Amino acid sequence: MQHRTSRSRTRSPSRPPGDPNVVDLTARSRWMRIREHLSATGNPDFRFRQVISAWQGSTAETFADVRALPPGLRAELAERFGPRLHPLTAVEVQRDDHVEKVLFAAESGARIETVVSHYRAGWDSMCVSSQAGCGLGCTFCATGAVGLVRNLTADEITAQVMHPRWTREGLPRPGSVAFMGMGEALANPHVFDALTLLTDPGYAGLSARRITVSTVGFASNLDRLVAEHPQVTLTLSVHSPFPGQRAELIPLEGRYPLADNLAILDRHVRTTRRKVYLAYLLIAGVNDGEAHLDALADLVRRRSRPELFHVSVIRYNVAAGGDPAYRAPSTRLVEGFVRGLLARGVHATRRRQLGTTIDAACGQLHARYL
């Protein structure tokens, strides 16, 4: 089968006329700078928390609305950091039985999507975007078909989790957060500050173990991630055990081979004893054969601690802009593949997919760019 391997890697965002790109992508997180400023000017720690609570609690749009702060401090923060608290505006919401998908617009006009799944009582998982579009061009993914519009800032990434709309819906904190929305998190350096903020008790206060970063294997930053955030849960997208075929599906294989990424995971599991996940996207007739099963199982069994590697088998969701030759496998085929791995001594389960009817499942997000 011929796979499409070339895609435009960047695409200009459609911005309203006269709207400058006001986002400074070289700047550090505004929230981090605000916190540093408050501390450097002798304010007690609770002042930062007061701003965050007012913002997240949906009562404040601007610093001027944060009534808990002394008026002088409100004016000072607005003057120094700009009046608005919100970096993202929710412009559209779609729902099905288990999933809510929100289209957010950022200040530059860039658009992203965030998905919340309610699949177990009292446990909500949020799928966040790290980039508007993605420049890595995987041939099965709608976000890849968009091309890279731009990296999100750390504040735009974390605002998806902290947005006041969730408080209004009774969901001030999701049970877990996965970087499985739009974009390749490790291709965006702002993800490191975003993780620091998400795990900061004064900001989102999430446990690192409840955060999953999924990557196609941006090895240089995977190395940095395991060093700086060792407790974050990791998923490496594999999709083929054969380098030639993997490079057709995931062009980044040519720059950062799977073997290099697996070597990083080997070191990581040896030091942390944390379980890691290998995602395997099953496309009918492409990567679902016995030879794939044997080679994938072999790849896992050759790890230094194979018991700490878990394969999540994902059914291909038909994605806008994906290769038209790709077909979704039947449920029987997916279950058979999982059984095949188990029979070969590999831990494996099928990853449940929600939201396919509203294009909210893995690989389907394109924020209306397509």
Question: Minimum distance from CB of 168 to ligand SF4 (Å)?
Answer: 29
Q: Which of 234, 134, 153, 164 is nearest to 197 (CA)?
A: 153
Instruction: Name which position in 77, 134, 154, 311 contacts ligand SF4 (CB under 6 A).
Output: 134
Is the separation of the CB atoms in 356 and 364 below 8 Å?
Answer: yes
How does strand 123-127 pair with strand 88-95? Answer: unpaired
**Residue closer to ligand SAM, measured from CB, 107 or 359:** 359
Backbone angles phi, psi at 111, to 5 degrees: -120, 145
**Residue closer to ligand SF4, measured from CB, 220 or 271:** 220
113 binds, among ligand SF4, ligand SAM, none (CB under 5 to 8 A by kind): none
**Residue closer to ligand SAM, measured from CB, 162 or 238:** 238
**Residue closer to ligand SF4, measured from CB, 55 or 277:** 277
Backbone angles phi, psi at 159, to 5 degrees: -65, -25
* Cα distance between residue 20 and residue 370, in whole Å: 23
Burial class (CB in 10 A: 0-12, 13-18, 19+), 368: exposed
Residues between 172 and 191 with contacts to ligand SF4, criterion CB under 6 A: 183-184
CA 173 centroid distance within chain: 17
147 touching ligand SF4, by CB under 6 A:
no
Interface map 323-342 toward ligand SF4 (x if CB under 6 A): --------------------
How many chain residues bind ligand SF4 (CB under 6 A)? Answer: 9
Question: Minimum distance from CB of 191 to ligand SF4 (Å)?
Answer: 13
* Cα distance between residue 97 and residue 108, in whole Å: 32
Residues between 217 and 236 with contacts to ligand SF4, criterion CB under 6 A: none
Q: Which of 72, 70, 65 is nearest to 86 (CA)?
A: 65
129 binds, among ligand SF4, ligand SAM, none (CB under 5 to 8 A by kind): none
319 binds, among ligand SF4, ligand SAM, none (CB under 5 to 8 A by kind): ligand SAM
Using CB under 6 A as the criterion, which residues of the chain lie in contact with ligand SAM when the complex forms? 140-141, 143, 180, 184, 214-216, 237, 279, 281, 314, 316-317, 319, 322, 362-363
**Token duo for residue 296:** 């994938």
Catalytic residues: 113, 362
Question: Minimum distance from CB of 315 to ligand SF4 (Å)?
Answer: 15
In 10 A of CB 295, how many CB atoms? 13
Interface map 237-276 toward ligand SF4 (x if CB under 6 A): ----------------------------------------
Q: 64: Cβ–Cβ under 8 A, 6 or more apart, which residues? A: 74, 75, 78, 83
**Which residues on adjacent β-strands are paired with residue 150?**
132
CA atoms within 13 A on the CB side of 211: 27
143 touching ligand SF4, by CB under 6 A:
yes
Interface with ligand SF4 (CB under 6 A): 134, 136, 138, 141, 143-144, 183-184, 216
